[in-house]
Structure 1
Amino acid sequence: MIKDTVTAFMDKHDLLQPDSTVLLAVSGGPDSMALLHFFTTIRRQWRLRLVAVSVDHGLRGQESRQDVAYVEEMCRQWEIEFVGTSIDVTTYKKQERFGTQFAARELRYRYFAEQMEHYQADYLVFGHHGDDQAETMLMQLVRTADSSSFSGMPVKRDFATGRIIRPFLCLTKEQLHDYCEHHGITPRIDPSNASDDYTRNYFRHNVLPLLKSKNSNLPATIQHLSESLQADEQYLQEEAKKMTENVVKFEENPKRATFEIDQFDSHASALQRRAFHLILNYLYEELPDNLSYVHEEDFFSLVANDKSNIQIDFPRHLKLEKAYNKLIFYFQTNEPKSHAFHEVLPVPGSVWLPDGASMKATYCNEISSQDEHTYYTLASRVALPLHVRTRRDGDRMRWSGLNGSKKVKDIFIDAKIPVRKRNSWPIVTDNNGEILWIVGLKKRDPITLEKNTSLIQLYFQEGNV
């Protein structure tokens, strides 16, 4: 009965191929011993090389060492290759400031990966069953506000040289205990499983029995839910990746991400949420522990905010800045530096600006071209020398047809220049302080060229910074 159920489950999910090298994670408990025995019954049919892998976490002294010795002895009796090790969880968790369970898992999986590489294995098999899946889903329900993290343990996933598979997710804990009893297997029992000190044990002893009293088929129901959620999530992730590739511009050195808000907002909210997390995964080498659903809410509030220029902070100096229709993610590791500069520009002559840009001034008698990087003025209408500087409080500019003058700040706003760029924007004035040119944005009065008229030509070359 159990063999047929598991075989059908493996076929449904394409979990195992013949002629494979299979590592079996075996602790000595009922689930893993049932797993070890089950694979001995199918190894000839599937032509499998089996290797049992057992880990002593060093948390229960002689007792946990005896668990590994028990697994080794059963492997000898059943003619299965065996490899085992001891790991120092206590020291590792103190060094890394991890909890016991997390530290044990980190070291255990590290060892599993090493053995996968050593044996060039195709599969690493765990004995997790339907009750384990139910516990996992319930813990995720309590801990997470992200639907993409609420899908339970995958039936299969890539790992090291092959895949992790869980062929017993179709079974219950009770079925595996019955299996051991039927085949005369006396598993080792970890006494820490009786304690409610660990979160999983609390759910196992107090929450799951209550739910199973309302639905005796709960593990199967939750496994079906898990598979459905994982399939949905895989599709949404694929669509979110396509969206991100089309909408978001990623940059390196330094890492940045930018998108046009109207383009981003035109996609379904389910894709927007996943695109947001894809952006964070790109920017952060490792996601900060204090990054939570609150930051996701802050992000969407920023996107929807009517203000044209606004900024919020994320962990590890990540800044999110809205500049009109653009949203920029960037890191600011140091205190912002002053971008102000003031350079005297002789005619003829040139000056270099802090960001690597340059401004060149020459005399000429004709206008050869007009674009956003060039400016012409009559030499007789300006007081020399010229000056290239950043804006100052109270700066105003005049031009013909304008009733009075206009604040430079308002010119920046009209041109939708992000706030962070305004303080470093080059402005050209004459020696009397009259603003002649806000580079690339606004020029003073156009000139009417007369014969034999002396002109000053300014040419702006952008920098690399």
Structure 2
Amino acid sequence: MREAVISFMKKHQLLKKGKTVLVGVSGGPDSMALLHLLSSIRTEYNLRVVVVSVDHQLRGDESKADLTYVKEMCDKWEIDFYGTSVDVLSYKHSRKIGTEVAARELRYQIFSEQMQKEQADYLMLGHHGDDQVETMLMGLTRSSNPRAIAGIPFKRPFATGFIVRPLLGVSKNEIEKYCKQHNIIPRRDPTNETTDFTRNYFRNKVIPLIKTQNNNIHTTVQHLSENIQADETFLVNEALKLFDKVVTIDKDERVATFKIDAFQTYPLALQRRFYHLILNYLYDELPKDLSYVHEEQFFVLLTSKKANVHINFPHQLKVEKAYQQLSFYFDESQTLKVNETLLIPGEIILPDGAKVVANFTDNPGVTDENTYVCRKEDIALPLHIRMRQDGDRMCWKGLNGSKKIKDIFIDAKVPMKERDKWPIVTDNNGEILWLIGLKKGQPKKQANNTSYIKISYEKGSV
């Protein structure tokens, strides 16, 4: 095993001479074999080795004994040791996450802190070839995203250096043999033998069946993992270039938009990764109920012949097609509803920060798209500002009859997400006077020699 691991490290450039290496050690066979091997080459490589061991407090005195065992072995092998305990159960309940996830997050927090404290170049972990098989199979059962089945990376940036996993090229059985050969008596976690956790089920039920067909499956899968990761890295980098070219981002509002026709000129492989880049950008953490079904809906939406259509993603994320533009945004429209009386003189601040001001005047002056003027006697006071309602219609000079507000929005190519929060001015009889900034109505009554009402709209932001 020793030669295989050293060869794997050289092939992937996982270790340079004269560096500081942290080793995550639980006391189990994997991490103990890794520590022993690293200890055997530390003089040749001029390494400073520091062990970090974390007690998750999930097995009472047993897990405390694991910590003690690791410290004793470090003293025996003359290796620096740092040990600590974390409260996984409290963290799990406060974050509302699973036990495995909680333990991992806390463990990696400790690793990061110690990496920075020691200014370490590497954090070495004992994941091996069988772990790789488990991880990739679990990914296959949960997701259709290539990154989910790419497996565990042998090297990735972390804290002040890199996480490296030198044992990915060897099997669990080889590690057990190494421990026996070097008289290492590791600690055993009995929970690893149960099937209460998903990974344990794959470890104890699925992997043994696969090994009856291919006992060298860990080698096959590791080659597959490296190929997938290399391909994925290239494609994601190309997708990032596409992202920079076609996407417009509003960081404050967490909105991403792009032109569909320009996007569709790129290969489907880049489009898929582009889609995932947007989701990773918008979501603080990808929802568990986000699946390949949403990806399929996204691509159906792109080719939809409907001018305005949207789909709902988890956590109030909407993906909306408005003619040739596609937008990702979080739907907070419920906070933008308004139905208020507009006093004269007076003003109303809309939820988006815009302002509507009304005054009486004898000289309305020049009007523009943000100003509406009518005679006082032509309308029924008081005025009101509201959002659109089903069946809304309005009329204006030169129009024979009336027209639906919905059709006015369509003609003006107003995106659907804007329509439900578009302000409308009505009189007290409900007659629509002004679809602000878009269409000015014609009051039914026409009086002469009367004062005017002037309404102004000023854009703003909250």
TM-score tier, shorter chain, comes to 0.7 to 0.9
Q: 1:76 to 1:460 in 2, by over 3 A?
A: same
Instruction: Describe the shift of the 1:425–1:65 C-alpha distance in structure 2 as closer, same or farther (beyond 3 A).
Output: closer
**35-44 or 264-273, larger mean C-alpha shift:** 264-273
2:395/2:403 contact within 8 Å kept: yes
SS of match in other structure, 1:301: helix
TM-score for both structures, normalised by structure 2 = 0.81
Deviation at 1:227, TM superposition (A): 0.6
Deviation at 1:153, TM superposition (A): 0.6
Aligned residue for 1:453?
Answer: none
Residue equivalent to 2:448: none
The alpha-carbon distance between structure 1 residues 279 and 176, as it changes in their structure 2 partners (threshold 3 A), is same
Task: Report the CA distance shift for 1:138/1:352 in structure 2 as closer, same or farther (over 3 A).
Answer: closer
Shift in Å, 1:356? 2.6
User: What corresponds to 1:226 in structure 2?
Assistant: 225
Specify the alignment match of 2:99 in structure 1.
Answer: 100
8 Å Cα contact 2:338-2:385 kept in structure 1: no
Task: For residue 420 of structure 1, report the CA deviation from its aligned partner.
Answer: 4.2
> Could you tell me how far 1:123 is from its partner in structure 2?
0.8
Partner of 2:446: none
Distance 2:192 2:330 in 1: 45
Aligned-partner Cα distance in 2 for 1:219–1:31: 15
Residue 270 of structure 1 aligns to a residue whose secondary structure is helix
Q: How far did 1:198 drift?
A: 2.7
Q: Give the C-alpha shift of residue 339 in structure 1.
A: 4.7
Alignment of 1:175-214 (within 5 A): 175-214=174-213
Q: Which structure 2 residues correspond to residues 72-151 of structure 1 after superposition, within 5 A?
A: 72-151=71-150
Q: Which amino acid aligns with 2:407?
A: D
Note closer, same or farther for the CA distance 1:304–1:180 as it changes in structure 2 (3 Å cut).
Answer: same
TM-fit CA distance, 1:161: 1.6
Conserved 8 A contact 1:340-1:424: no
Shift of 1:409: 3.8
Q: For 1:416 and 1:272, locate their aligned partners in 2 and report how far apart those are by CA, in whole Å.
A: 26
Q: Deviation per CA, 1:113-132, whole angstroms, max 9, x where unpaired?
A: 22112211111101111111
Q: Distance in 2 between matches of 1:92 and 1:424?
A: 41
Deviation at 1:237, TM superposition (A): 1.5
1:240 is matched with 239
Query: In the aligned structure 2, how far is the partner of 1:438 from the partner of 1:97?
Result: 46
Q: Partners of 2:55 and 2:433 in 1: how far apart?
A: 77
Q: 2:253 aligned with 1:254, yes or no? A: yes
Contact 2:333–2:420, Cα closer than 8 Å, also in 1 = no
Structure 1 SS opposite 2:173? helix
Post-superposition CA distance 1:40-87 (Å, at most 9, x none):
121112111001122222233333322222222222222111111223
Q: Secondary structure at the match of 2:107?
A: helix
Greater shift, 311-320 or 385-394, is seen at: 385-394
Which has the larger displacement, 52-61 or 233-242? 52-61
State the secondary structure of the residue aligned to 2:319: strand
Where 2:114 maps in the other structure, the secondary structure is helix
Q: Distance in 2 between matches of 1:231 and 1:394?
A: 56
Which SS does the other structure have where 1:335 is aligned?
A: helix
CA contact (8 A) 2:120 2:161 kept: yes
Q: 1:16 to 1:352 in 2, by over 3 A?
A: same
The answer as to whether partners of 1:429 and 1:436 remain within 8 angstroms in 2 is yes
What is the SS of the residue equivalent to 2:284?
coil
Question: Separation in 2 of the partners of 1:427 and 1:143?
Answer: 47
Q: Aligned partner of 2:153: which letter?
A: P
Unaligned runs of 5+ in 2: 443-451
Give the whole-Å Cα distance in 1 for the aligned partners of 2:90 and 2:182: 39
Q: Is the 8 A contact 1:40 1:78 kept in 2?
A: yes
What corresponds to 1:463 in structure 2? Answer: 459
Q: Is the 8 A contact 2:259 2:326 kept in 1?
A: yes
Match of 2:393 in 1: 395
Amino acid aligned to 2:459? G
Deviations 1:275-315 (A, max 9, x none): 22222222222333333333333333333332222333333
1:344 to partner: Cα distance:
8.9
Aligned residues between the structures: 445
Do the aligned residues in 2 keep the contact of 1:133 with 1:222 (CA within 8 Å)? yes
| Alpha-carbon spacing, 1:459–1:353, altered in 2? closer, same or farther (3 Å) | same
In structure 2, what residue type is equivalent to 1:22? V
Whether contact under 8 Å (1:350, 1:361) holds in the other structure is no
After superposition, where does 1:7-22 map in structure 2 within 5 Å?
7-22=6-21
Code of the residue aligned with 1:92 in structure 2: it is Y
Quote how far apart the aligned CAs of 1:191 are. Answer: 2.6
Larger Rg: 1
Q: 1:45 to 1:428 in 2, by over 3 A?
A: same
| 1:410 corresponding residue in structure 2 | 407
Q: Is residue 80 of structure 2 the alignment partner of residue 57 of structure 1?
A: no
Matched to 1:416, the amino acid is K
Q: Deviation of residue 363 (structure 1)? A: 9.4
Query: For the Cα contact (< 8 Å) 2:371–2:457, is it kept in 1?
Result: no
Structure 2 counterpart of 1:228, which letter? N
Distance 1:328 1:460, change over 3 A: farther
Which moves more between the two structures, 88-97 or 179-188? 88-97
Give the corresponding residue for 1:451. Answer: none
CA contact (8 A) 1:399 1:405 kept: no
Q: Distance in 1 between matches of 2:252 and 2:107?
A: 35
Q: 1:398 to 1:159 in 2, by over 3 A?
A: same
Q: Counterpart of 1:168?
A: 167
SS at match of 1:168: helix
Corresponding residue for 1:304? 303
Q: Check the 8 A contact 1:383/1:430 in 2, yes or no.
A: no
Cα shift at 1:463: 0.9
The CA distance in 2 between the partners of 1:242 and 1:64, in whole Å, is 48
Deviation of residue 430 (structure 1)? 12
The whole-number CA distance in structure 2 between the counterparts of 1:398 and 1:105 is: 65
Offset at residue 270 of structure 1 (A): 2.7
Aligned CA distance change for structure 1 residues 289 and 435 (closer, same or farther; 3 Å): closer
Identity score, percent = 51
